[in-house]
Structure 1
Amino acid sequence: MHCRLTNFREVIMNDNNPSLSRGRRAMVRLAEPAAPVDAADENARRLFLQRAVACGAALPALYGLAGEAGAATPEAPPQPAATAASVIRDFHDPYLELVRLLREACEVEHALMLQYLYGALSLKPSYAALAGDGTPNNHTLLGVAVQEMQHLGAVNRLLLALDAAPNLVPAEFPYEPHIYPFEFNLEPLSPASLAKYIYAEAPIGYFDGPRQATDEHFARTVLLMIGPKRRPNHVGSLYNAVIELTREVGKRPGMPKLDGWVEKLEAIKSEGEADHFRFFQSVFLGTHPAFGEHRDAWQKPPTDANYPAYAAPVNPTAYIGHQNQIIAPELRSLAWLADIHYWTALLLLEQHFRYGDAATRSLALAHMLGPLLSIGRHLPPRGSGVPFDPLNFGSAPALDAQRGRQLIASLVREGQALAQQLGDALPADYPRELAASTLAALAPTHIVLAR
């Protein structure tokens, strides 16, 4: 791509970008504290820096524009204490409002999980220690993605405790939650994408209230990359609202018992605001152990062989005729097969949550950590990526548990037939036997319902 950087005014006057179609907007809205309006020159400066990032500008250049740490810059005036935005309440009934926000939380956790997974799969083999192996932890990208999957599972279990249905409907990218000042996109790992993840996982008030001097320079750089649109919130405000509603609902007579759920939700909130935030900060700064002596890796242009990530596409799709469609037939077929495994995993989890189907949870993990990761690592070096396309089956597409298994079995057979057609084009580590073992486990004689 040819990049032409002119001046701040030209960038702000010509910042329309029709290359990405709009996705669905989330329904959570915030009541935000009043904030001063940035001057036009500052807006233009921020947009210029975003364009510079897109054109491969190195982090040191951005650090210089943000103000070097320790440089002689005017002392910042005292700032008022951070004020967290509050989620606008739609329903007077706390039970209805809690169910509504939990379903939105499912979508946010789902979208975060997919972004982190896509970023992990975009990393080159020399950064395997940063990508991880799928074990849940807070020091690898796949580990953090799996923890987001665990958060998604916990929120769905709370929905079940409230006698509400689970929500595993896939996100459609670009996805725009109102609680963030940017769209969620599937994109390769980069300083620009890391800035978004840092902002999303930051403690409430980190970017809006007083900070330690050692954090000030870092925070300014992240905000410059994000741009002028600012909302003083992150995942924390959504969970604050959910926690307060959980307390309220748990005290009402006739409502389900929610003992222990406040502590579980507090733990989820804390995990993001502490562990995940610091993890993404270390990757952004190049201080994560996986960088070793190459702390300047993000300073290289994305086209450099030593840049950490492949140039995977943004928001690809395997749907024919859609914008950002994967063009190469073989790559599109592989991406479609990855979609089938992703959808299979979601329907298996839906079966597990909705019907207490004991076997389907482990089958879902097998499809996520087996064929999906196999194809996911195979595509980025070839200029593609797993699209994680939405499936219009919606939630609970079957009438009951048995019919749910039948529908999933049909999807598994669809993937099995495509894998046979692809033959040697499949990655060497693709688990070809998983389809047969999944079909055997889904057979009627193996049904075990726990609920």
Structure 2
Amino acid sequence: MIDNTHRRRLVALLTEAAELEHALMCQYLYAALSMKRRIEEGVSWQQLELMRRWEASIMLICRQEMEHLGLVCNLLTAIGEAPWLTRPNLPLAPRHYDLEVESKLERLTEETLVRFALFEIPDAEIEQPDRELLAQALGQEIDPQRYQTIGRLYDEIAQLFEQLGESLFIGPPGAELATTDVIPVPLRGISLPNTARIYDVELVPVTGLASALAVVEQIVAEGEGAPGSSGESHFKRVLAILREFRDERERDPAFDPARPVTAHPDPHAISDRRTRRVSQLFDDAYATLLLLLMRFFAHSDERTAELTGLQRAAFFPMMTTVIRPLAEVLTLLPTGDGASTAGPAFRFTRNITLIPHREAAWQVIQDELDALTATAEDLSGDSGYPLQVRDRLRLMHENLARIGLDFGLAMGTAVAP
């Protein structure tokens, strides 16, 4: 018989881990998308190239944080629980996750990079050059024992899995997602196994105790890094950027890689009417994406073609042709305070729960996509926006219209024009 006290503790820790990975992904994205893109913004060509590499590294971390969220959802599904895609809105005080680090949306600065490093700090001994760098940036000697690391959270999760054993895994076989479920193959004509690492993402199904422990180990290794690991962990990547940031600031004291993006991106804190409407559109699109992901991760009796319809709406189209460009547009728009620009709030505008009835869920998602399309069309025709912004809003309207139509045709909730 399963020890229900330990099982409830495991579920609580897994939902906390899902929230934490989700919140971290949003914070990394905010910092990456805050960076300047043109020399007219006060940086040199050489600095732009440096920042391009930083953005690529941070976006890799974002993809892996999304992977970690997916892996935790696989762990939950494997033990008979529902995926967990909700979380509190940011900011969150350090005590919220007992990590001694505040969760908040900030543009890319030295302080932001230090905060990211403290999130990812290893539970093991920190190498001396890394310890010295953090001490210089913090202005004091680093005390790793002060920070309840993410690794410790996963250590307890692993211990509970081992204590509860194989009988814990009651989820339906095949319900968990693999890499090729979210990234279609063949990729550029190349066939790959379903657990292949694609775009630095490796989503692994959980089928029992051994695979559950391997997934936990993978998350920890990619985040804080295994002892003696290379510079591929999130902790090492963040420190590499921090080191280059400090070196560049020493060469050019005026160097600032980020736009003046606000630390308070909530639409209610934005006084500029047009910016507030784009911010609201972003939050609504983000909520719709999460509805798609919830249905995808917790699908019931969808056929293969219908799962493909969910996948094709959620991943590359919605994430890359709506969410990211909308976030980038916000960093160009004024908040109304005369000093700062906006940013993506990643705010929940509705509860993200599983809509249990398949066809009703599809129709709810279809209605949300249609509403987004109508709003984007309205915004793209507003001459009060700069031409550069209007052009991007027009493209996003076209992308949303296509996503909505493709989804509707796959699910039977729309008809071809």
Q: Name the TM-score, length of structure 2 as normaliser.
A: 0.73
Q: Secondary structure at the match of 1:188?
A: coil
- Partner deviation per Cα, 1:262-290 (whole Å, 9 max, x = no partner): 11110110100121001000111117xxx
Q: 2:90 and 2:408 mapped to 1: Cα distance?
A: 34
Q: 1:235 and 1:447 mapped to 2: Cα distance?
A: 43
Aligned AA (1:408)? I
Q: Does 2:272 match 1:328?
A: yes
CA contact 1:110–1:171 (8 Å) conserved in 2 = no
CA contact 2:76–2:83 (8 Å) conserved in 1 = yes
Return the match for 2:249 from 293, 297, 301. Answer: 297
Return the match for 1:214 from 129, 145, 157. Answer: 129
Q: CA deviation at 1:229?
A: 11
- Partner deviation per Cα, 1:114-159 (whole Å, 9 max, x = no partner): 0000000001112233213xxxxxxx11111111001101111111
Return the match for 1:311 from 248, 260, 273. Answer: 260
Q: CA deviation at 1:212?
A: 4.6
Q: CA deviation at 1:352?
A: 0.4
Q: 2:69 and 2:141 mapped to 1: Cα distance?
A: 26
CA contact 1:185–1:315 (8 Å) conserved in 2 = no
Identify if the C-alpha distance between structure 1 residues 441 and 103 changes in structure 2 by more than 3 Å, giving closer, same or farther: same
- Partner deviation per Cα, 1:233-257 (whole Å, 9 max, x = no partner): 2110111111111222234478563
Q: 2:276 and 2:401 mapped to 1: Cα distance?
A: 24
Q: 1:159 and 1:298 mapped to 2: Cα distance?
A: 47
Identify if the C-alpha distance between structure 1 residues 171 and 315 changes in structure 2 by more than 3 Å, giving closer, same or farther: farther
Mapping for residues 242-391 of structure 1, pairs under 5 Å: 242-252=157-167, 257-274=208-225, 275-286=233-244, 295-297=247-249, 304=254, 306-318=255-267, 320=268, 325-355=269-299, 357=302, 358=307, 359-365=309-315, 366-382=317-333, 383-391=341-349
Identify if the C-alpha distance between structure 1 residues 332 and 348 changes in structure 2 by more than 3 Å, giving closer, same or farther: same
Q: CA deviation at 1:214?
A: 2.9
CA contact 2:135–2:142 (8 Å) conserved in 1 = no
Q: CA deviation at 1:367?
A: 1.1
CA contact 2:294–2:352 (8 Å) conserved in 1 = no
Aligned AA (1:168)? L
Aligned length: 332
Q: 2:74 and 2:134 mapped to 1: Cα distance?
A: 35
Task: Tell me the equivalent position of 1:428.
Answer: 391
Q: Does 2:363 match 1:406?
A: yes
Q: Secondary structure at the match of 2:148?
A: coil
- Partner deviation per Cα, 1:279-312 (whole Å, 9 max, x = no partner): 000111117xxxxxx93237766xx5x4111121
Q: CA deviation at 1:342?
A: 1.0
CA contact 1:378–1:427 (8 Å) conserved in 2 = no
CA contact 1:239–1:269 (8 Å) conserved in 2 = yes
Q: Name the TM-score, length of structure 1 as normaliser.
A: 0.67
Q: 1:105 and 1:328 mapped to 2: Cα distance?
A: 36
Q: Does 2:61 match 1:144?
A: yes
Aligned AA (2:98)? I
Q: Secondary structure at the match of 2:224?
A: helix
CA contact 1:106–1:167 (8 Å) conserved in 2 = yes
Q: 2:82 and 2:237 mapped to 1: Cα distance?
A: 33
Q: 1:182 and 1:395 mapped to 2: Cα distance?
A: 28
Q: CA deviation at 1:381?
A: 3.5
Identify if the C-alpha distance between structure 1 residues 124 and 445 changes in structure 2 by more than 3 Å, giving closer, same or farther: closer
Q: Secondary structure at the match of 1:386?
A: coil
Q: 2:234 and 2:390 mapped to 1: Cα distance?
A: 31
Identify if the C-alpha distance between structure 1 residues 234 and 362 changes in structure 2 by more than 3 Å, giving closer, same or farther: farther
Q: 2:169 and 2:100 mapped to 1: Cα distance?
A: 39
CA contact 1:191–1:284 (8 Å) conserved in 2 = yes
Q: CA deviation at 1:341?
A: 1.6
CA contact 1:122–1:309 (8 Å) conserved in 2 = yes
Task: Tell me the equivalent position of 1:438.
Answer: 403
CA contact 1:161–1:258 (8 Å) conserved in 2 = no
Task: Tell me the equivalent position of 1:232.
Answer: 147
Aligned AA (1:297)? R
Identify if the C-alpha distance between structure 1 residues 215 and 393 changes in structure 2 by more than 3 Å, giving closer, same or farther: closer
Structure showing greater radius of gyration is 1
Q: Secondary structure at the match of 1:313?
A: coil
Higher normalized helix content (fraction of residues): 2
Q: CA deviation at 1:432?
A: 2.5
Q: 1:371 and 1:184 mapped to 2: Cα distance?
A: 25
Q: Does 2:89 match 1:172?
A: yes
Alignment identity in percent? 25
Q: Which runs of 5+ in 2 are unaligned?
A: 38-47, 172-207, 226-232, 334-340
Q: 1:259 and 1:229 mapped to 2: Cα distance?
A: 30
Q: 2:21 and 2:244 mapped to 1: Cα distance?
A: 26
Q: Does 2:120 match 1:201?
A: yes
Aligned AA (1:364)? A
Q: CA deviation at 1:92?
A: 6.0
CA contact 2:101–2:119 (8 Å) conserved in 1 = no
Q: CA deviation at 1:232?
A: 3.1
Aligned alpha-carbon RMSD (Å): 2.8
Q: CA deviation at 1:94?
A: 2.3
Q: 1:113 and 1:361 mapped to 2: Cα distance?
A: 20
Tell which deviates more after alignment, 349-358 or 225-234: 225-234
Q: CA deviation at 1:171?
A: 3.3
Q: 1:300 and 1:272 mapped to 2: Cα distance?
A: 31
Q: Secondary structure at the match of 2:63?
A: helix
Q: 2:240 and 2:259 mapped to 1: Cα distance?
A: 20
